């Protein structure tokens, strides 16, 4: 019986070790001096920790990290808010087109980036937004809004309709009901969706690549720029990857309990 109980813990520990292995290689590789980079395998720890490369790469990435934050955070918050409005409108809708609109939102949510990248890039070019932070923000927003709407619609079904009915009896209009009665109850949901979209936008590579000529508009592009054509200094690549991964990791640690609370609401199905 003890062995049966021990088995799940061993499986979890094994999965954790597999997950930690790339992080281990990434960390020790970022701390190696150039002499060891050229002579030792990536998985062998350094005998002489060197922070020079890490600090130099951090200085190179600092403006790009700022650009990425200025794009991703407002985009995630805006998409979550617009998605909340869209979800509320669909939740309250009585028209026969409601099911059609739901299908459209679902299709848009799972639309591959590749299917829209050419018209999207042309749209940005014609309006002078190509290779700009505004263009990347708009591109992310276009793809994020359907997902946010679908997720917020699932969350919003957990709200008792009696809350809305009570506000209607008091004579409140739709926007006032949304702002005063519905949106405050969507706090965990809003945080979960905004956190997910922030991390997703931070890690997105394809949209910034399709809408940029340079590497300085998004952190994933800048990290990719450390991949050389003739050879790679993996301590530079690992340093860039390690630094780029810290902001979303710290964000999740800071807001993790709210994210999980939102997922619990989603899993409860409004019960």
CA 64, CA 20: separation in Å to the nearest integer? 27
- Out of 1.25.40.10, 2.40.160.20, 1.10.3720.10, 3.30.70.960, the CATH code matching 53-268 is 1.10.3720.10
Cα–Cα distance for residue pair 162/169, rounded to 1 Å: 10
What the block records as the tokens of 103 is 């299908």
Q: Which residues contact 269 (CB under 8 A, 6 or more apart)?
A: 157, 158
Tell which residue, 249, 192, 181, has the closest CA to residue 76. Answer: 192
Render each residue's pLDDT in the chain as its tens digit; 271 residues.
Answer: 466 777 888 888 889 888 888 888 888 888 888 788 778 887 888 888 888 888 999 999 999 999 999 999 999 999 999 999 999 988 888 877 888 888 888 888 888 888 888 899 999 999 999 999 999 999 999 999 999 999 898 888 888 888 888 888 877 788 888 888 888 888 888 988 999 999 999 999 999 999 998 899 999 999 998 876 545 677 888 899 999 999 998 988 887 777 676 666 655 554 4
pLDDT of 139 reads 94
Question: What pLDDT score does 228 carry?
Answer: 67
Is the Cβ–Cβ distance between 167 and 141 less than 8 Å?
Answer: no
How many of the other CB atoms lie within 10 Å of CB of 74? 13
Dist CA 183 CA 84 (whole Å)? 8
Q: Which region holds residue 66: left if phi is over 0, alpha if psi is between -120 and 50, else beta?
A: alpha
Alpha helices by DSSP H, listed for 204-233, are: 206-210, 219-224
- 3-state SS class at 60: helix
Calculated CA dihedral for residues 50, 54, 59, 63, nearest 10 degrees = 180
Distance separating alpha carbons of residues 218 and 269, to the nearest angstrom: 37
Enumerate the domain spans of the chain.
1-50, 53-268
pLDDT for res 270: 47
């Amino acid at each position: 019986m003890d062995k049966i109980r021990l088995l799940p813990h061993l499986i979890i520990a094994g999965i954790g070790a597999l997950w930690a292995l790339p992080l281990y290689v990434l960390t020790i590789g970022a701390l190696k001096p150039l002499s060891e980079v050229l002579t030792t395998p990536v998985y062998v720890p350094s005998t002489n920790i060197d922070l020079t490369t890490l600090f130099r790469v951090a200085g190179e990435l600092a403006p790009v990290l700022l650009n990425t934050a200025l794009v991703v955070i407002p985009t995630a918050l805006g998409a979550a808010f617009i998605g909340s409005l869209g979800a509320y409108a669909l939740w309250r809708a009585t028209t026969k087109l409601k099911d059609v609109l739901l299908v459209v939102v679902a299709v848009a949510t799972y639309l591959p980036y590749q299917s829209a990248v050419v018209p999207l890039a042309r749209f940005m070019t014609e309006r002078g937004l190509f290779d700009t932070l505004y263009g990347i923000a708009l591109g992310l927003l276009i793809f994020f809004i359907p997902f946010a709407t679908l997720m917020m619609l699932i969350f919003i079904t957990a709200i008792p309709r009696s809350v809305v009915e009570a506000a209607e009896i008091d004579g409140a209009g739709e926007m006032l009901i949304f702002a005063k009665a519905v949106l405050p109850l969507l706090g965990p949901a809003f945080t979960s969706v905004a956190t997910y979209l922030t991390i997703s936008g931070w890690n997105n590579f394809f949209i910034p690549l399709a809408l940029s000529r340079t590497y300085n508009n998004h952190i994933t592009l800048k990290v990719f720029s450390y991949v050389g054509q003739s050879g790679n200094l993996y301590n530079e690549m690992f340093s860039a990857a390690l630094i780029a991964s810290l902001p979303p990791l710290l964000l999740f640690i800071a807001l993790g309990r709210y994210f999980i609370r939102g997922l619990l609401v989603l899993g409860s199905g409004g019960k």
